[in-house]
Amino acid sequence: MNKELAIDMLAAVKKPARYTGGEFGSIFKEEAEVRIALAFPDVYEVGMSYLGFKILYHLVNKMEGIAAERAYAPWIDMEQLMRERNIVLTTLETKKALCECDLVGFTLQYELSYTNILNMLDLGGVSVLAAERGDEEPFVVVGGPCVFNPEPLADVIDFAILGEGEEALPEVLTCYRNWKREGKPGGRQEFLHRAVQIPGVYVPSFYNVTYNEDFTIQAVTPNTPDAPATVTKRVVADLNKVDFPTAPVVPFGEIVHDRIMLEMFRGCSRGCRFCHAGMVYRPVRERRPEVLRELAHKQVDNTGYEEISLVSLSTADYSCLGPFLDTMIADFKDRKVSVSLPSLRIDAFSVDVAKKVQAVRKSGLTFAPEAGSQRMRDVINKGVTEEDLLHAVSAAFANGWKKVKLYFMIGLPGETDEDVLAIAQLAKKVQWKFKEITGKGGCQVTISASSFVPKPYTAFQWAPQDTLEEIRRKQGLLIEATRVKNITFQYHDGKTSIMEGIFARGDRRLGKALYLAWQRGQRFDGWADVFDFERWQQALQDCGLEPGFYNHRVRGDHEVFPWEHLQPAVNRAFLASEYKKAKQGLLTADCRQGRCNGCGVCQRLGVPVIDWSGRAYDASKEKGFAPLAEKMAGGDNQSYSAATQRPGLPKEGGEAE
């Protein structure tokens, strides 16, 4: 594309900075033996906020002769111009078309981004269907949280990497480089046969799926000796020993999370029964405070950002958060760099933390009770009470806050109308608590209620999802119940939740509907102003698929799921036990606060749960956390191994041996 044409196109679209490249911190490798396009299936502002690509971009570009470049989905206006003028989608760094790269890697963050994957491949000159790709076309690889059920994309992708990519992706790229140096013997199939032998790599074409008469899965079996019967995720045992980007790309324009993102730890052991991330990212592994401090200083020096966000699935659970936060605030106070947390735990300690990070300006507090009634909070194993919330907001109001945002879900398994209305009642109690503390009104409470979507590898993977009619009825209940001054109710159209649910637990048969919907114009399905529910319903119908089969039926106790050959190492018996306990309203304690609950992850992966407050996890139901060995306290976690401390696997029923 010549310069004049580029300027003409940029002048005709919204937010042209999405497409220019050349940002501070970009890495250019004109000459590279292997080139991978890290392609995010959404717009630049969303993709540039994704920490995973920042990490992989940094790590891959440190490899000799291998380049990682970035590509994002062009918005509707730019796509129209590109198709009118036959302009291909290129990377931002060297302007290589996607079809000129050796590999194109997508992250599966959200099921409703799948049509964008097809669209980006087509715009980049890559055959959309894997079976139609020639020997000179790039391999399409996917990763991310949704990779634990990539079956709806089985016709599109060449292979997937399960779990964390810091070690796995360099191994795949090295394998590809060796194959390329040999002259690519045996064509595409030969490389796939080599790649599938790397732990964590899944090649859908190497597996056959058979169905029962009722269209449930009968079996998923390898069709080649090279492919394992099950593929287990990759996990980084010690986050302190892997490189973390300290000079990330700094965008020209504003992005969704326009700040430094400092990853405190990975995994979560709280065990919320609806939470997919909380299961597939286990075990918990913390970075040492001194490592985090060094990373923070380098990023501030290299980027010029004035905010550091401490990120993880549950940042308030970091074992050294209090003293670490004090250190960070002291370190950066004179440099006018603030420290922020994305979410707070519902307790007084969180308010104390908020006082520290919002010392200058109290912008409001956000809590996530998830359910309005205590019964439902017990069902989902949230582990907090109404008293906890009211105590937290009381502390907040006493310290000057008067804005609170509360996150909830509706449509949870076993929910009644009383449980739904309890959301509004809880918001009113928060307002009353403000008046009790301050003696005046004016407390602003915002309720955000999303629609529950059952996910694979959660206790609710067997549960039905509410119908669209039921979602709207429950939303109507809350609309009426929250017609109160200074209470704002926010919710999303349930149609997107229905489609998310279909693809979250879908099988390979959905691939035809996905392809057909894309051909008919579907893209950016996560954007309400673009999403077309009726077009999706027609595509499913035309492919002979019943939407209710995927998200409105109760799955059988012994039903084979489409994703079970892809393992995050969570024991199915443990999940079944949790589902049973949910129906009984029974709680399961956080294993980091007591004994092992038998999820199986620590034992199967041989990776210990470690924090840095002076404790290490002994994966046995008798011991739970125990004092660290002297060497361990010095920062060498190689002195402790859950695999040697606890070799046994959980028995059926979820309890450890």
Helices (H), 202-320: 276-280, 289-303
Residues in the chain predicted with pLDDT less than 50, given as ranges, are 619-657
pLDDT of residue 633: 33
Whether residue 468 is contained in a domain is answered as yes
Residues 6 or more apart from 306 whose CB is under 8 A from it? 336, 337, 338
Whether residue 375 is contained in a domain is answered as yes
Asked whether 101 and 127 are in contact (CB, 8 A), the reply is no
**How far is 337 from 566, CA to CA, in rounded Å?**
42
Whether residue 424 is contained in a domain is answered as yes
Unique residue bearing structure tokens 């690519």: 184
Q: Give the residues across from 338 on adjacent strands.
A: 307
Peptide bond into 283 cis (omega under 30): yes
pLDDT of residue 400: 87
Whether residue 1 is contained in a domain is answered as no
* Residue 85 CB neighbours (<10 A): 11
**How far is 639 from 620, CA to CA, in rounded Å?**
18
Whether residue 422 is contained in a domain is answered as yes
pLDDT of residue 362: 64
**How far is 319 from 308, CA to CA, in rounded Å?**
19
Tokens of 334: 């004179």
Quote the crossing angle between the two packed helices 417-438 and 386-398, to the nearest 10°: 30
**How far is 563 from 565, CA to CA, in rounded Å?**
6
Work out whether strand 201-202 and strand 159-161 pair parallel, antiparallel, or are unpaired.
Answer: antiparallel
pLDDT of residue 352: 80
pLDDT of residue 636: 35
CATH number of the structural domain spanning residue 461: 3.30.750.200
**Domains in the chain, number:** 1
**How far is 183 from 185, CA to CA, in rounded Å?**
6
Query: Which of 535, 529, 501, 451 has the alpha carbon at shortest distance from 152?
Result: 501
**How far is 103 from 91, CA to CA, in rounded Å?**
12
**How far is 225 from 459, CA to CA, in rounded Å?**
33
Q: Which domain holds residue 377?
A: 350-492
Whether residue 371 is contained in a domain is answered as yes
**How far is 643 from 283, CA to CA, in rounded Å?**
13
Write out pLDDT tens, residues 80-89.
999 999 999 9
Residue 35: strand, helix, or coil: strand
Asked whether 597 and 651 are in contact (CB, 8 A), the reply is no
Whether residue 419 is contained in a domain is answered as yes
Residues 6 or more apart from 416 whose CB is under 8 A from it? none
pLDDT of residue 454: 98
**How far is 220 from 342, CA to CA, in rounded Å?**
40
**How far is 171 from 177, CA to CA, in rounded Å?**
10
Write the DSSP assignment of 380-397 as a string of letters: TT----HHHHHHHHHHHH
Asked whether 632 and 641 are in contact (CB, 8 A), the reply is no
Query: Which of 321, 311, 315 has the alpha carbon at shortest distance from 270?
Result: 315
**How far is 409 from 594, CA to CA, in rounded Å?**
28
Whether residue 439 is contained in a domain is answered as yes
Write out pLDDT tens, residues 264-286.
999 999 999 999 999 999 999 99
